[in-house]
Structure 1
């Protein structure tokens, strides 16, 4: 067994084998079967998903919807079947809209999911076999080669130039060198060089390892458990709507009870009639169309974001992005391209700058601002000859995207050669010393197009400096090596976060056709340095600037080293060189909760972080009252994505676990889509406020009609089913038009709304009361006046309904702008959907008043031209009075 408290990466490989009761000859099939029964299949447990009925039932949990269901039950007991059917129909329609939209989002996401490794090369019964990765067990001997995906957590027993791409797990932008030697017990995930982790990709070399963990016991499985344990928070919108719903429900139930008390105590109402009046009041006051409008408005935002390559899994996520105050972002593959790029070339002739990013051979090389032709710069040509010929990678365009086959750093050098116009095809490679972790260099013996034979050497600068006695001087001739000068240049590039490679060469005899390590020990001439970095996405730089102007802080959280993180952060525009501080994972580990809350408030870059660190950072920001969005593409980002108020995953390079944890998946891996989603979210919130500002006063007017009738002992102007008609046709026509309102000017120049800000402020409440009194008072006055003129009750109620509808149609144009005047023609016609909605409403009202089937269902009768003119005059008066109110309030402000 392993020594107590010593993990597999901290002990020798033979002790690991002994602890697993295994050896390098592999397991027998019988033993593997017994272990499979004990440990279970090598797969992650499937994420539980609610059944169809449970997901559908969630849409009935709103307290206002529950009050409506109660009202339907009472009308059923009183024998009013039509009222019951209409109320329940409204409730079911709301639920269906939300349920269908959720299903669409899940279906859209399914198209971009990718699976982990499915097969493994394992030593069983003394021979190598390919088996399903799910059948692996602890103690199995597995071999790896370039291009394989690691099928389980392995303790390496042997390796040959093994390099594994672990960015999805550790956040490292470069593949990690692997070797069997144990490391410190407290080594971070990215420093456990003797382990290969499930789900990571072998970039180069070969390896042999013993399975030490499968399924849920792997590092990915540990993160999966962490995800399952993370507590998700309600979105700001759902919190505000829930609070608003509770307050409104208490008010409605209280007033309905008051109506019953007044009706029984002061007036001679029949109990059944009084119950109907109370139900009518509840139906009038409850904005039952609001859930539908909320869902439709969010769904429209989801569709607009889908056209911008952002797939939304949860409707409220887009709106939540509009409320975020902080965006926490992973670096590798999110803010950067995860494509290594040569940026600087240093020779004794000068410091060259290289433009372009990624593996696309588009870019230029300049010296002191002037474009460089390779033929006129012998120093540069000599260096590029080395990095292009001593290179095993290829870059090629695939479906419009340039990709590298081979090592990312070699791909960057290959692209550099392409930008310089250098081709290695005419060079004949005669012998090679391949890259090995122990040597950290690669050398080739090559014949040049001129027939000369040269040793070309590239690799780690310190290893090459040890082998060089000279350098290529400013005049193009070899001179003694000035090691101190080169080390200063190496330090300068390293401090900028660049990975530095060096090149050296020397000529050999024309007859030489072999190459050994001894040939590199003397006479090598140092040519120069190449600085390589994983560059920022240009669109991400602009998006960060836009977020900062919108009052949103962007924080970079990465598993990469502090120097690299700082360099990228400065290039991204996150802070400035004088004040930017990078917090390390070790500092985070040592910080208590109070210290961490201070650190996350003061600092914007966090380096060498683990999944637990990222999760703690998000929690600390939320504890500070921030609304947090978290973006990332790796498994290590998934717990923080799930905890954040809104999680955003990359769709192309993102892992399955990340997509499952996220609320939004970017199909194009473009950070700028997040900035556009913030703008979309703010627009949606504005439109929701406009819808609420429209619906609540109109519902208030209807409720006032019913409340006043009971309090003053009047005949009820409306029946419950007529009120539902008004609520639903207004919601699906007029209120829906507000969902199509364009973004307000300067929407990304204003700060985020403060968390905890109530949905209804004092100005909203004032307008609610004013509009309710205007519309409700006008409706009661018309109803009573027509009754006094001898109009039959059914026709008077038809007139009351029509007055309500027309007044709300006019008020729509007030509500389209919260503060700006609506009388200007440019604004009146800015949203064609509003005029289409009015036309549809008019058609529905004509049917309501004049079609016999609807007359029978809603107890309506035809109206005369005089009644239409009167309702139009009332609607116009409401519009003008509300415009005057806006102007009065704006003067006061």
Structure 2
């Protein structure tokens, strides 16, 4: 809402138009994140497999030992212990811890996560739709060029500094001596709702730039407003693309000052000032002005046209139809909001990561395209720029055909954003959308990741968003995507480790039980492995630092399962560990003829193998041998693995603990065999096994 008025309050809160938007946003179904969908599918499949296998082992125990009460209880306890071992019951806690730690890290980078699961969803983003002003650009408009009398006037100065000079054809000019230039600057300063205190702007940055350039010409804002008091106004609207203010002149006359989109202003003008003379604004002259406007717009300048109209002294009804027609064209003001340097780097990083960048702006199409090219967004001949008007003319089918090629949306309204989001999601994209206004809220809610602005954003937009950028910076959003990818990687590491190591116990126990032998692992030993070796070291994976290539990989396939590409790695690990456990048990049973030593060796081999293979679960492309010093970056991981290894190694040699776990001390030879078989976990190399297909569905 813009302008000034006296209003009668007819409704408040949720009954207002803003309240209705907020209500519509709240009524939208809460979207499930890609991670939650994948975990649901994973949990169902895993549950069916584990229940089935444990049921089979329970039946085998009954067949082997009979249906007596003791045999049934022992078989049931074994099946339950195996189920507890196989089920990654720590997964929900680990996911929450990983997301929480990731959200804390992102908050330190000015990305505040409002919904915890969204921290991971960021990592799967395939398209980022960002507002230009303040996000891709600095948000500090500066008037650099003026167009009057068929010539370009250059204006020096940076940002909101009130110092600058005016040059035409490389000659310094004094604005106070040029009535035409003075009129142009006066219109910009008075048809304006912002305020300037000499250092900062209070209000819209575009309007602030118009005041600053007038101050550079020694025109005092307060003096101007006193000399030309405002009588009435027609506030700016995105439909009209104009703003008009009516003033009393020092001579007591009434005059309308109009600013707005040049193409709209020019259509409404019938005269033009040239050399301080009002002449007819012919079609040829209009085309010449439009050509200069397009030339400046193509250089990334935001263009505003300025015009005026003398009004009858007795006019009291200041309507659009009366005031905003038959105007006198004065000139153009060209301003620029320079792109953020870090935004260009962030966009380049997105390209490496396979993420598409889309700019959304209210600027002229040519201005938006110039900024996009400067940022490196439009570097393909197939890239398209669309205006809001062009978008409205397209049918849904026509738009669906080109939506993948559109990288710039110019002259769009907030409601167009919703259409853009829905079209991209229909294509299977994971969409991040930025916004700061109340009308942006539906699009933010509909997007997979709604991103509100912390500085310029409204409360409604922040409420609808999944994430808030505290510094309104595009680079922060891209850094958050990097953090989201790291979070997902760490969750996959944990799942890969658990599935690689937990199922061997089912195979070993099932196979030896079928063969008529006693249990290779006792229930209490299984629970120890599950709680200790599967505990702190695995949880430490949640704080692993991001991989060096995390933003050099394409976005993951939204349809791919959570353990996509890791089946062969898990299968090899499962078979190697099962073979090692069976060798240890067979050595104890057949060579040593000692069941207790057999279970001790099997227990230690399983525990140590998991602690060794864990090192190869930290990367999908590099084994422990290639990570080098990066192996030691996560100190919590290193300390937890070492501590668990030492504690497990000491168990057989501490009487009270060895008795509790039904294990006995081993000789050097026996321990050497256990460690030799366990250390094979260091040779389950992810760079050889990841992404390989064993069966078509893997």
TM-score, L = length of structure 2: 0.78
Sort the Cα spacing of 1:283 and 1:655 in 2 relative to 1 into closer, same or farther, 3 A.
same
Sort the Cα spacing of 1:426 and 1:570 in 2 relative to 1 into closer, same or farther, 3 A.
same
| Contact 2:184–2:331 (CA under 8 A) maintained in structure 1 | no
Sort the Cα spacing of 1:468 and 1:886 in 2 relative to 1 into closer, same or farther, 3 A.
closer
Aligned to 1:584, which of 388, 409, 412? 388
Aligned to 2:202, which of 381, 405, 421? 405
Cα deviation, residue 871, structure 1? 3.3
| Contact 1:430–1:444 (CA under 8 A) maintained in structure 2 | no
Cα deviation, residue 869, structure 1? 3.7
| Contact 2:387–2:412 (CA under 8 A) maintained in structure 1 | no
Q: Which residue of 2 aligns with 1:29?
A: none
Sort the Cα spacing of 1:555 and 1:840 in 2 relative to 1 into closer, same or farther, 3 A.
same
CA distance in 1 between counterparts of 2:691 and 2:111 reads 38
Aligned to 2:49, which of 251, 266, 269? 251
CA distance in 1 between counterparts of 2:229 and 2:339 reads 34
Cα deviation, residue 219, structure 1? 2.0
Cα deviation, residue 648, structure 1? 1.7
CA distance in 2 between counterparts of 1:369 and 1:469 reads 20
1:225 aligns with 2:27: no
CA distance in 2 between counterparts of 1:493 and 1:436 reads 32
| Contact 2:129–2:359 (CA under 8 A) maintained in structure 1 | yes
Cα deviation, residue 308, structure 1? 0.3
| Contact 2:166–2:175 (CA under 8 A) maintained in structure 1 | no
Cα deviation, residue 830, structure 1? 5.1
Aligned to 1:262, which of 60, 65, 74? 60
3-state SS of paired residue (2:558):
coil
3-state SS of paired residue (2:546):
coil
3-state SS of paired residue (1:440):
strand
| Contact 2:138–2:339 (CA under 8 A) maintained in structure 1 | yes
| Contact 2:363–2:411 (CA under 8 A) maintained in structure 1 | yes
Q: Note the 1:644-663 alignment, pairs <5 A.
A: 644-663=447-466
| Contact 2:195–2:201 (CA under 8 A) maintained in structure 1 | yes
Structure 2: state its 5+ residue gaps.
235-242, 260-264, 316-326
Cα deviation, residue 676, structure 1? 0.9
CA distance in 2 between counterparts of 1:610 and 1:600 reads 17
Cα deviation, residue 305, structure 1? 0.6
Cα deviation, residue 690, structure 1? 2.8
Q: Which residue of 2 aligns with 1:617?
A: 420
Sort the Cα spacing of 1:670 and 1:609 in 2 relative to 1 into closer, same or farther, 3 A.
same
| Contact 1:694–1:815 (CA under 8 A) maintained in structure 2 | yes
Sort the Cα spacing of 1:710 and 1:597 in 2 relative to 1 into closer, same or farther, 3 A.
farther
Q: Which residue of 2 aligns with 1:440?
A: 244
Q: Which residue of 2 aligns with 1:198?
A: none
Aligned to 1:820, which of 619, 622, 639? 622
Cα deviation, residue 612, structure 1? 5.9
3-state SS of paired residue (2:625):
coil
TM-score, L = length of structure 1: 0.63
Aligned to 1:415, which of 212, 217, 221? 212
CA distance in 2 between counterparts of 1:354 and 1:703 reads 78
Task: Please list the CA deviations of residues 716-739 of structure 1 after superposition, one character each: whole Å capped at 9, or x if unmatched.
Answer: 232334323222333443323433
Sort the Cα spacing of 1:389 and 1:298 in 2 relative to 1 into closer, same or farther, 3 A.
closer
CA distance in 2 between counterparts of 1:545 and 1:607 reads 22
Task: Please list the CA deviations of residues 872-892 of structure 1 after superposition, one character each: whole Å capped at 9, or x if unmatched.
Answer: 322333324x24x85588999
Task: Please list the CA deviations of residues 543-585 of structure 1 after superposition, one character each: whole Å capped at 9, or x if unmatched.
Answer: 3343234222233456778677667656655547975341536
Q: Which residue of 2 aligns with 1:345?
A: 146
CA distance in 1 between counterparts of 2:218 and 2:78 reads 87
| Contact 2:273–2:330 (CA under 8 A) maintained in structure 1 | no
Cα deviation, residue 339, structure 1? 5.5
Structure 1: state its 5+ residue gaps.
1-163, 166-203, 447-454, 472-477, 505-515, 519-523
Q: Which residue of 1 aligns with 2:117?
A: 316
Sort the Cα spacing of 1:527 and 1:226 in 2 relative to 1 into closer, same or farther, 3 A.
closer
Task: Please list the CA deviations of residues 848-893 of structure 1 after superposition, one character each: whole Å capped at 9, or x if unmatched.
Answer: 555667556645555555554443322333324x24x855889999
Sort the Cα spacing of 1:564 and 1:577 in 2 relative to 1 into closer, same or farther, 3 A.
farther
Q: Which residue of 2 aligns with 1:307?
A: 108
Q: Which residue of 2 aligns with 1:756?
A: 559
Q: Note the 1:149-188 alignment, pairs <5 A.
A: 164-165=1-2
Q: Which residue of 1 aligns with 2:491?
A: 688
Sort the Cα spacing of 1:570 and 1:444 in 2 relative to 1 into closer, same or farther, 3 A.
farther
3-state SS of paired residue (2:468):
strand
CA distance in 1 between counterparts of 2:412 and 2:207 reads 27
CA distance in 2 between counterparts of 1:892 and 1:659 reads 44
Cα deviation, residue 807, structure 1? 1.6
1:836 aligns with 2:632: no
Q: Note the 1:238-637 alignment, pairs <5 A.
A: 238-265=36-63, 268=66, 270-330=71-131, 334-335=135-136, 340-348=141-149, 350-352=151-153, 360-361=160-161, 386=186, 393-396=194-197, 403-405=200-202, 408-417=205-214, 420=216, 422=218, 424=220, 431-434=227-230, 436-437=232-233, 440=244, 459-460=258-259, 470-471=274-275, 483=281, 487-488=286-287, 490-492=289-291, 495=294, 496=297, 498-502=302-306, 528-532=331-335, 537-557=340-360, 573-575=376-378, 580-582=384-386, 584=388, 587-588=391-392, 591-592=395-396, 594-606=397-409, 613-637=416-440
Root-mean-square deviation over aligned CA pairs: 4.6
| Contact 2:271–2:279 (CA under 8 A) maintained in structure 1 | no
Sort the Cα spacing of 1:867 and 1:364 in 2 relative to 1 into closer, same or farther, 3 A.
farther
Q: Which residue of 2 aligns with 1:707?
A: 510
CA distance in 1 between counterparts of 2:497 and 2:169 reads 60
Task: Please list the CA deviations of residues 620-653 of structure 1 after superposition, one character each: whole Å capped at 9, or x if unmatched.
Answer: 3222221222221222222222222222222222
Q: Which deviates more from structure 2 when the two are superposed, residues 860-869 or residues 693-702?
A: 860-869
3-state SS of paired residue (2:124):
coil
Aligned to 2:470, which of 667, 670, 684? 667
**How many residue pairs get matched?**
653
Q: Note the 1:13-28 alignment, pairs <5 A.
A: none
Q: Which residue of 2 aligns with 1:196?
A: none
| Contact 2:113–2:466 (CA under 8 A) maintained in structure 1 | yes
3-state SS of paired residue (2:384):
coil
Sort the Cα spacing of 1:638 and 1:323 in 2 relative to 1 into closer, same or farther, 3 A.
same
| Contact 2:86–2:503 (CA under 8 A) maintained in structure 1 | yes
Cα deviation, residue 667, structure 1? 1.7
3-state SS of paired residue (2:557):
coil
Sort the Cα spacing of 1:409 and 1:635 in 2 relative to 1 into closer, same or farther, 3 A.
closer
CA distance in 1 between counterparts of 2:555 and 2:430 reads 10
Task: Please list the CA deviations of residues 673-697 of structure 1 after superposition, one character each: whole Å capped at 9, or x if unmatched.
Answer: 1111112222233333333222211
Q: Which deviates more from structure 2 when the two are superposed, residues 621-630 or residues 290-299?
A: 290-299
Q: Which deviates more from structure 2 when the two are superposed, residues 778-787 or residues 270-279?
A: 778-787
CA distance in 1 between counterparts of 2:157 and 2:645 reads 59
| Contact 2:272–2:280 (CA under 8 A) maintained in structure 1 | no
1:205 aligns with 2:8: no
CA distance in 2 between counterparts of 1:287 and 1:369 reads 75
CA distance in 2 between counterparts of 1:585 and 1:298 reads 41
| Contact 1:388–1:424 (CA under 8 A) maintained in structure 2 | no
Q: Which residue of 2 aligns with 1:43?
A: none
| Contact 2:569–2:690 (CA under 8 A) maintained in structure 1 | no
Sort the Cα spacing of 1:384 and 1:587 in 2 relative to 1 into closer, same or farther, 3 A.
closer
| Contact 1:231–1:643 (CA under 8 A) maintained in structure 2 | no
Cα deviation, residue 756, structure 1? 0.7
Which has the higher relative contact order, 1 or 2, with Cα contacts under 8 A spaced 6 or more apart?
2
CA distance in 2 between counterparts of 1:627 and 1:335 reads 20
CA distance in 1 between counterparts of 2:366 and 2:615 reads 56
